Amino acid sequence: MQSLKGLERLSLREIDVPQLLKTIDISTPIGLRDRALIELLIGTSASISIAIGVKVEDYFWRERRRWVRLQANGNQKEIPVNEPLKTYIDEYIAAAGILDEKGSSLFRAAGRINGQLGTRQVRHADVLRMIRRRRVLARTGRCLNPARPCSEQ
C-alpha cells in the first residue's frame, strides 16, 4: 500500500496539468478554490499538508508583487507568486469573500449539505480525493462543467 506522500506525488506528476485545470467548474467558489490549490501545489512544489495550512494573511503584497508564505515544522519560506497563481487566488478570494479574514485558513472545506465554503480548513484526505477525481476527468476528457466542453474552457 502506498503512503499518502507517495499518492501526493503521483497525483500531480502523471497528468497533463492544463487538461486537469480545464476539468474544473470555475463558476463556483469550490471550483475556484480547487484551481488555486492545484496551481499552488504545482507552482511552489509544496506538499498538500503545507499548502492547506496557508492562511489568508500568508498571501500578501511585497515589492509590487504577491507572495505566499509556506510554513512547516516551525520553518517558513516566502515565495513570489507567478501570474496564473496570483489570478487564481485573487479570483478565489473574491468569490469566497475572505479577504478580511486574516487569521483564517485560505483553503476552506465545503459543507456536505449546502456545498458552501465554511470556516474550517480543507482536509488532506479531501484534497487527495479531489485530485484523484480530477485526474480521472482529465484522462477521459470530461469536464465537470457540462455547459462548456473542456476544449473551450
How much is the pLDDT for 37? Answer: 94
Q: In this structure, is residue 147 part of a structural domain? A: no
How much is the pLDDT for 131? Answer: 85
Q: Looking at the chain, which runs of residues are DSSP E strands? A: 59-62, 65-72, 75-80, 108-110, 117-121
Q: In this structure, is residue 153 part of a structural domain? A: no
Number of separate domains in the chain? 1
CATH (domain of 130): 1.10.443.10
Are residues 38 and 20 in contact, defined by beta-carbon separation less than 8 angstroms? yes
Domain that holds residue 102: 23-139
Q: What is the pLDDT of residues 99-109, one digit of tens each?
A: 999 889 999 99
Q: In this structure, is residue 1 part of a structural domain? A: no
How much is the pLDDT for 145? Answer: 52
Q: In this structure, is residue 151 part of a structural domain? A: no
Q: In this structure, is residue 61 part of a structural domain? A: yes
Q: In this structure, is residue 70 part of a structural domain? A: yes
Going from the C-alpha of 109 to that of each of 24, 101, 121, the distances in angstroms are: 16, 15, 6
Q: In this structure, is residue 37 part of a structural domain? A: yes
- Of 35, 28, 37, 75, nearest to 59 by C-alpha is 37
Higher-pLDDT residue of 15 and 40 is 40
Provide the mean pLDDT of the chain: 82
Q: In this structure, is residue 4 part of a structural domain? A: no
Residue 117 — φ and ψ, nearest 5°? -70, 135
pLDDT at 136 over 50: yes
pLDDT at 86 over 90: yes
